[in-house]
Structure 1
Amino acid sequence: MFICIKHGDNQQFLANIHCSVLLLMHYLRAKVGLERTDPIDLCEENGTLKLLFLVKFPEDSASKFLTPRVVYYVCKVERGVPGTKHEHGYRAFHPVFNNPPTDLLDSLRNQCDFLEKSRLKMLKSQDGKKPPTMESLLSSMAGQVVAQGKSTGKSGASLSSGLDEEGIPRKTTAAAKARLEASRRDKHR
């Protein structure tokens, strides 16, 4: 099961897709003269990206994602500048092919825009759903138990519920207890 890879100045070669995605990507980088760390992908002649650089399990067979006897172009994936807030963003897909057709470039540009918008939308939806930290859970739980003990007048009730006399879970580390005590002192000031 082979595919045809076009690159450079109308150069082409065959690649066997009966291997892992990772192995195929390493082979393609070596054949077209790219660095081992350059993120790449393949696109069909109409510009449809295969998104192999996003494959969750790179040990999966490349034949799951690619069709035998089809012509593909190698594309470099341009991400944001490392160390900036846009480092994981999608900036562009550049075909490693001299004088690519404009419809291919337009298709790659549209897909890049769509991927970036989807990435930002996913990040935005995750912002509102951040799970509470362990410290905030412990302090709110301790505050509720202490308030409950004061309202019922029972200080020993917390002992039977798995909490110590201060309203802190018994298995809490000494460092967590110290942080909780400090936050309580700050609240009472």
Structure 2
Amino acid sequence: MSLDQSFIVVKYGDDQEALFNPWCSTQTLVDWIRRKCECPKDVVIDLVDLDGQVKNLSGSSEEYANELVTGRETYILIHVEKADNGPNRYIPLLNNIEKINPELMIKLNNMARPSTRNKRERTKKMSRSGKPSKLESSLKRPTSTERRSKQPK
């Protein structure tokens, strides 16, 4: 039985990178990344892979980090701005990422936008004539004009 003893590469700052051993708790990994990459304690940090998948290390402090990251892979250090309402904002802590990996920057920006899922679902429920389906009409709140017309005169 051989254990995969590989490390991960974390890119940050002015095209700097550091090696980390993911065979530890996610909290320990985050602490070491914070120390090595000189991140303040009050900043929420995480990693994102080159495909734009945020690893959510801070939300899994009891798990082993090697269950969330893959050995020998490269990750970008990010700052997570927690939002009260809506999606979190992900800010890369790798300078010039828009030049190094513009596709990743676009993905991070898109994750911070509010979802338009409800609008798409409503569009799917529209009939071919462009009018709302019976289901959509029954779920829709009446407009002020519709409420006035239903009131007894």
Q: Per the shorter chain, which TM-score range?
A: 0.5 to 0.7
CA contact (8 A) 2:7 2:20 kept: yes
Matched letter for residue 111 of structure 1: M
Percent identical: 31
Q: Is the aligned partner of 1:104 residue 2:101?
A: no
Quick check: which one's helix share is greater?
1
**Matching of residues 88-99 of structure 1 within 5 Å:** 89-99=86-96
Partner Cα distance (1:24, 1:42) in 2: 11
Q: In the alignment, which of 57, 68, 71 is matched to residue 71 of structure 2?
A: 68
**Matching of residues 1-189 of structure 1 within 5 Å:** 1-55=6-60, 58-80=61-83, 87=84, 89-100=86-97, 101-113=101-113, 117=115
CA contact (8 A) 2:14 2:95 kept: yes
Matched letter for residue 72 of structure 1: Y
TM-score between both structures, scaled by the size of structure 1:
0.52
The verdict on how the C-alpha distance between 1:112 and 1:52 changes in structure 2, with shifts beyond 3 A counting, is farther
Aligned length: 109
For structure 2, the 5+ residue unaligned runs are 1-5, 119-153
Partner Cα distance (2:75, 2:68) in 1: 12
**CA RMSD of the aligned region, Å?**
2.1
Q: Secondary structure at the match of 1:98?
A: coil
The verdict on how the C-alpha distance between 1:89 and 1:29 changes in structure 2, with shifts beyond 3 A counting, is farther
Bigger RCO (CA 8 Å, 6+ sep): 2
Matched letter for residue 96 of structure 2: N
